[in-house]
Amino acid sequence: MLRLPTIRAAALALAVLMPVASGAQGDVAAHTAAPHPHAAQLDRLFDQLAQADDSNWKALEDEIWDLWSRSGSATFDFLLNRGRKALEGGDLEAAIEHLTALTDHAPEFAEGWNARATAFYLSGRLGLSLDDIARVLTLEPRHFSALSGLGMIMEELGDPKAALEAYRHSLAIHPRNPRVKEAVQRLELAAGRDI
């Protein structure tokens, strides 16, 4: 049985997702405190990603990740890199410590929340991961990775409909993502068998 904080976190994450579903990304984005320092470049890259083909989607995705990883502060970027290195090394508690310092000092930097959501997910703290995913999507509604992470968690929580919705939103932003395409196909097939 899910604990109440986990249910609340899932509801919050889905509530954040709903404006994206209705096409009101501007409404969600209006709640952010400050635009990303590379907002114009990101807008251009997202437009290109939506139209990408098999030959260029990966390069566009990499450029987006590069920009998402730049906070505009060398200190904050250092904390993000320390957290990511700890994650890669399997030291989840150190990763969470570094990334919590980052989110404490740079609460408007979406990638800090996303990296910490990953660390919480890998450590089995799904409710805390969902809380951080909600923050990511508030700050960057086009964060296709946070949306796919939401889908993964909703699957683990036994809610395939919510998982499929999250994956579809991720795919609408990044139509070439093979992992998300596979998840959508798998869940659509399973939903068809349940009819």
20 pLDDT tier (thresholds 50, 70, 90): very low
Neighbours of 149 (CB within 10 A): 23
Which CATH code fits 73-141? 1.25.40.10
Decide if pLDDT at 21 tops 50.
Answer: no
Tokens linked to 193: 């068998």
Segment among 34-38, 44-48, 185-189 with least mean pLDDT: 34-38
Decide if pLDDT at 7 tops 80.
Answer: no
Q: Higher-confidence residue: 165 or 4?
A: 165
Domain ranges of the chain: 73-141
Q: Is 125 helix (H, G, I), strand (E, B) or coil?
A: coil
- Residue 38 pLDDT: 87
CA distances from 51 to 42, 44, 54, 56, 90 (A): 14, 11, 10, 10, 36
Q: Please provide the average confidence, as pLDDT, over all residues in the chain.
A: 87
- Residue 193 pLDDT: 75
Place of tokens 């929580």: 157
Decide if pLDDT at 24 tops 60.
Answer: no
CA distances from 120 to 35, 47, 126, 128, 191 (A): 26, 31, 7, 6, 29
Q: Higher-confidence residue: 25 or 70?
A: 70
Closest CA to 32 of 118, 115, 136: 136
pTM value is 0.83
Alpha-carbon Rg for the chain in angstroms:
16
Decide if pLDDT at 57 tops 90.
Answer: yes
- Residue 191 pLDDT: 87
d(CA 111, CA 92): 17
At 78-98, the pLDDT tens digits run 999 999 999 999 999 999 999
Q: Higher-confidence residue: 187 or 37?
A: 187
- Range 133-160 average pLDDT: 98
